[in-house]
Structure 1
Amino acid sequence: MTTTVPKILVVGGGYAGFYTAWKLEKHLRKGEAEVTIVDPLPYMTYQPFLPEVAAGEIEARHVVVGLRRHLKRTRVVVAKVTGIDHANKTATVTPEVGEPWQETYDQIVVTAGAVSRTFPIPGIAENAIGLKTVEEAVAIRDRILTNFDRAANLPPGPERDRLLTVVVVGGGFAGIEVFAETRAFASALLKSYPTIGFEETHFHLIEAMGRIMPEVSLKTSEWVLKDLAKRGANVHLDTQVKGAVDGNVELSTGQVIPTDVIIWTAGVMANPTVVRGSDLPVEERGRIRARADLRVGTPEEIVEGAWAAGDVAAVPDLTGKGVGGYCVPNAQHAVRQAKLLAKNLTAVLRGEVPSEYIHHNLGAVAGLGLYNGVFQSKGIAIKGFFAWIAHRGYHGLAMPSWERKFRVVGDWWQNLWLGRDNVSLEALQNPRYVFEEFAARPRPAAPEAAPAPAIEPKSVAGENAPTAGESAKA
């Protein structure tokens, strides 16, 4: 008699997916279940560090956590889940190379995360870049450095101004952090570019609402605005982007800002590929409907064998402080939900009762460039250097695994003494350009020789007449 163990399929390897699989390995006994995680990328990205990657303060590879390195007992599949048929407990797995296949499961955990939410604004899809992946953060850093190199060779004028202008759209935490970090980065670069003055660098933040950083108090957000203004940053509140064709950012105020760097941080939405290809229940904002115990369903009805957490899930906020009654999509919730989900899933497999997710927000912390930050916890606000220390301390500890912690802290320590690298590696996006330029190529084939003209037959009268040469010989 053969017995099979339950199969657990984790869809998505971001915060929630990685932590769920990581903690399942801790909670499950050997042979108690088989865990498979599917994600298009073989690593998890610690997104709170992306602004520091964009500013050259942390090496890009150090903010990602390799799935295969840290998940010892989990099967890792690098592919996309393009369909979920929970009625038959199968998922369609589509690899980049090869044919799709059907993956069967007993329990499914949907943690596919979120993507940048954009609007049909002319030019945004063609010219803007998000800040959800480490690749985007690296591209922002390299573009700023490359533009400094190009601008240094140009005389003052519109093209030079365009290269030295950065526009960030969105005044939430991600937008403010990347805005402040890149502003500080550009200021630090000036000592290496003596032909470029501070007044020639232009940084603009566009926010549709009347304030920034809704996660902190109004007083704290106003302090951040004043601090940014001291550093030469321009913040446009109650302003919308109407167009970005050819890099010309058109604002609702009528102002047009020519730029070569447009960073979009104006919101996120649940991964549409997974949500739309699933038969699991979805709420009005396009997220999978979850219960407080992180099982898919409603308080009255449970979808057996299905779980959801993180940005892709609408998880009730039992503290009563969530937007619309749900937990806001951020890393703080995703990690904590994943840890509880692993415990609850293990409990259900053992016939036990799962617990409900409840988390009281302890505060918010943001980095605003080197040696500057802001920290808010209830009515307590800390600003400046000590808030920056709190920011680095919190995220340094939150980075998963000691191996990753050591790498990140090592970057900070080295930069403290050696400074940031200021070399653009934008050519990495076309690594074969030198090889292609000088590579020997086969010579073009020689043209074929033209065929000899055919000799026309002579007339009957002169068929046997001698040629002129024969007559001469005669």
Structure 2
Amino acid sequence: MRTILVVGGGYAGFYTAWKLEKKLRRGEARVVLVDPRPYMTYQPFLPEVLAGSVEARHAAVALRRHLRKTKIISGTVTAVDHEHKTASVRPVDGPEFPISYDVIAVTAGAVTRQFGVPGVTEEAFGLKHVEEAVAIRDRLLTAFDRASTLPDGPLRRKLLTVTFVGGGFSGVEGFGELLSLATGLLRAYPEIAFEDLDFHLVEALGRILPEVTEGPSRWVVRELEKRGGRVHLNTQLVSAVEGHVVLSSGEEYDSGLIVWTAGNGANPMVRSHTDLPINERGMVTVRADLRVGTDENPVIDAWAAGDDAAVPDLAVGRPGAATVPNAQHAVRQGKLLAGNIVAVLRGRMPRNYVHHSLGTVATLGLGRGIFQYRGIVIKGWPAWLMHRGYHVLAVPSWERKARVAAVWLTAVFYGRDIVSLASVQDPRHEFVSGGSGASTGHARSS
């Protein structure tokens, strides 16, 4: 039986394997998916996980629960030798081993770029995975607990200062949602005033949200600043050593929470450890039908999609244009990729990927959002409802849709949960200390 190897279990990889399961006939081929995580992260929910509007586990789609016919390998593909149709896999535990395949689908995804800014690696959180969103939320909640017992001073100001770096969708949505959570917490913390909060959004370009036009982008800036946030445009983070933020504008301050969302980079395996053709940005070169290679030199039995693939964007009608790395494209490319692999296996022609945008929608906090489709712009509460409606329909499986909708409905009556579980980052502290460090029976994490 032929083996189809799917490298990566993110959007594109998950949907490729999911649709292959539905399309392949019994005995036609087997599907093997390799990913170090046992779940696919539904990233549009991460800002709401960060704010406590979505339960963390509901933003994670279990691979083994939904890919019942696929062999799941918990590990990382470290190299691909397509000439010999072999991939090297480093499992979570145990030695590295080779795996042979007949067809490969490279959907490894992108990685976060850090640009070598001092202190970022040691101090900042990313916002690509559920664990990061949970940690950011717990850090803010714990900061409120600590600041509420402190007099005004450098430590208290640092605890209540938050910095997001990157004005793309992840940064703006995360910033808006965390700002919404922080202002909502003030009702439970009378010791902290609105003026004590200090939220900064740092963007190197002259505008945020490049996916929308200039007018809506400026409106989002005004909306965030009206709610107490500070947006630094044309500004770069120079240093974040020990939480001391230095900006290219010359401004300096201490920040207790730094979140880095400043862009994606090529996956190191794709960029440096494969014999597949890549472009100058380290992305796999693919044709419009998602086959690796070019129209003149296609690579047989090799396909790619998602953030690590330079997929031609036929919808824009501009030579050389590639699809932007977002969820809309990754999901649809994954579905088409599965169909094209099956078509070629059965001797049929694959179809080209053409997707016209359905519009852009973003959450900016509880009850606030923005939507744009061409010249149509919707702001505020209606856009926020559209964001929630779209994503509850888009998240895979009816089970996940029901769970997310149930949490949202519960929050209407009881509000968001504000319990910090930061102590799970050191779960043995209470056991090892014998309870000697906490008179109330709870270990508080810093």
Q: TM-score, normalised by structure 1?
A: 0.90
Structure 2 unaligned segments of length 5 or more: list them.
437-446
Tell whether the 8 Å contact from 2:270 to 2:284 is kept in structure 1 after alignment: no
Partner residue of 2:266 out of 254, 270, 289: 270
Partners of 1:289 and 1:408 lie apart in 2 by 37
Question: What amino acid sits opposite 2:288 in the alignment?
Answer: A
Matches within 5 A, 1:73-152: 73-152=69-148
Q: Which residue number corresponds to residue 20 of structure 1?
A: 16
Query: How far is 1:297 from its partner?
Result: 0.4
The answer to whether 1:232 aligns with 2:228 is yes
The number of residue pairs the alignment matches comes to 436
- 2:314 aligned to 312, 315, 318, which one? 318
AA at the equivalent of 2:337: L
The AA in structure 1 aligned to 2:328 is Q
Q: SS at the partner of 1:79?
A: strand
Which residue of the partner structure matches residue 196 of structure 2?
A: 200
Equivalent positions of 1:63-462 (< 5 A) are 63-320=59-316, 325-438=321-434
Query: Post-superposition, which runs of at least 4 consecutive aligned residues in structure 1 deviate over 4 A?
Result: 321-324
Q: Deviations over 1:181-217 (max 9, x none)?
A: 0000000001111100010011000011111111111
Instruction: Assess, with a 3 A threshold, how the Cα gap between structure 1 residues 134 and 324 changes in structure 2: closer, same or farther.
Output: farther
Report if aligned partners of 2:270, 2:282 keep a CA contact under 8 Å in 1: no
Whole-Å Cα distance in 1 between the matches of residues 319 and 134 of structure 2? 32
Q: Is 1:34 aligned to 2:30, yes or no?
A: yes
Q: Deviations 1:53-90 (Å, cap 9, x if unpaired)?
A: 11111110000000000011111111111111100001
Once residues 392 and 351 of structure 2 are traced to their aligned partners in structure 1, the CA distance between those partners, rounded to angstroms, is 29
| Residue 257 of structure 1, CA deviation | 2.0
Deviation, structure 1 residue 323: 11
Quickly say closer, same or farther: Cα 1:322–1:136, change in 2 above 3 A: farther
Matching residue's letter, 1:189: L
Q: In 2, Cα distance between the equivalents of 1:180 and 1:292?
A: 36
Is the contact between residue 208 and residue 240 of structure 1 (CA under 8 Å) also seen in structure 2? Answer: yes
Q: Which amino acid aligns with 1:256?
A: E
Quote how far apart the aligned CAs of 1:321 are.
6.4
Once the two structures are TM-superposed, the CA of residue 270 in structure 1 deviates from its matched residue by 2.5
Amino acid at match of 1:249: V
| Equivalent pair of 1:309/1:315 in contact (CA under 8 Å) | yes
Matches of residues 54-69 of structure 1 in structure 2 within 5 Å? 54-69=50-65
* Equivalent-residue separation in structure 2 for 1:403 and 1:274 (angstroms): 34
Question: What is the letter of the counterpart of residue 377 of structure 1?
Answer: Y
- Following the alignment from structure 2 to structure 1, what is the Cα–Cα distance between the partners of residues 109 and 355? 19
Q: Report the CA distance between 1:117 and its aligned residue.
A: 1.1
Deviation at 1:125, TM superposition (A): 1.1
Compute the displacement of 1:238 (Å).
0.7
- Equivalent residues of 1:167, 1:259 under 8 A apart: yes
Contact residue 322 and residue 328 of structure 1 kept, 8 A: no
CA–CA distance in structure 1, aligned partners of residues 12 and 390 of structure 2: 18
* Letter paired with 1:186: A
- SS where residue 191 of structure 1 aligns? coil
Query: How many angstroms apart in 1 are the aligned matches of 2:274 and 2:213?
Result: 39
C-alpha displacement at 1:362, in angstroms?
1.7
Measured in 1, the distance between the counterparts of 2:312 and 2:100 equals 29
Is the contact made by 1:172 and 1:213 (CA closer than 8 Å) also made in structure 2?
A: yes
Following the alignment from structure 2 to structure 1, what is the Cα–Cα distance between the partners of residues 338 and 116?
Answer: 39
Shift in CA distance, 391/321, structure 1 to aligned 2, threshold 3 Å: farther
Distance 1:286 1:417, change over 3 A: same
Summarize deviations over 1:143-164 as a string: whole Å, max 9, x none: 0000001101100111101000
Aligned residue for 1:447?
Answer: none
**Structure 1 unaligned spans of 5+:** 441-474
How far 1:274 sits from its partner (Å)? 4.0
C-alpha contact 1:81 1:274 (8 A) present in aligned 2:
no
The 3-state SS of whatever aligns with 1:368 is strand
- Match of 2:246, SS state, is strand
Take 1:323 and 1:117, find their aligned partners in 2: how far apart are those partners? 27
* Distance in structure 2 (CA, Å) of the matches to 1:315 and 1:50: 26
Query: Within 1, Cα distance between the matches of 2:129 and 2:165?
Result: 17
TM-score, length of structure 2 as denominator length: 0.96
Q: Return the offset for 1:320.
A: 2.6
Q: Share of identical aligned residues, percent?
A: 59
Q: Which residue of 1 is the match for residue 5 of structure 2?
A: 9
Counterpart Cα distance in 1 of 2:16 and 2:358 = 22
Shift, 1:260, TM fit:
1.1
Instruction: State the AA in 1 paired with 2:286.
Output: A
Paired amino acid for 2:242: D
Specify the SS of the correspondent of 2:20: helix
| Distance of 2:359 and 2:180 partners within structure 1 | 25
1:300 positional shift:
1.2
**Deviations, residues 211-245 of structure 1 (Å, cap 9, x unaligned):** 11111111111111111111011001111111111
Task: Measure the CA separation in 2 of the matches of 1:192 and 1:174.
Answer: 28
By how many angstroms is 1:304 displaced? 0.5
Q: Which moved more, 1:258-267 or 1:275-284?
A: 275-284
SS of 1:35's partner is strand
| Pair 66,407 (structure 1): closer, same or farther in 2 beyond 3 Å | same
Task: Name the structure 2 match of 1:455.
Answer: none
Q: Secondary structure at the match of 2:118?
A: coil
Q: Distance in 1 between matches of 2:3 and 2:325?
A: 28
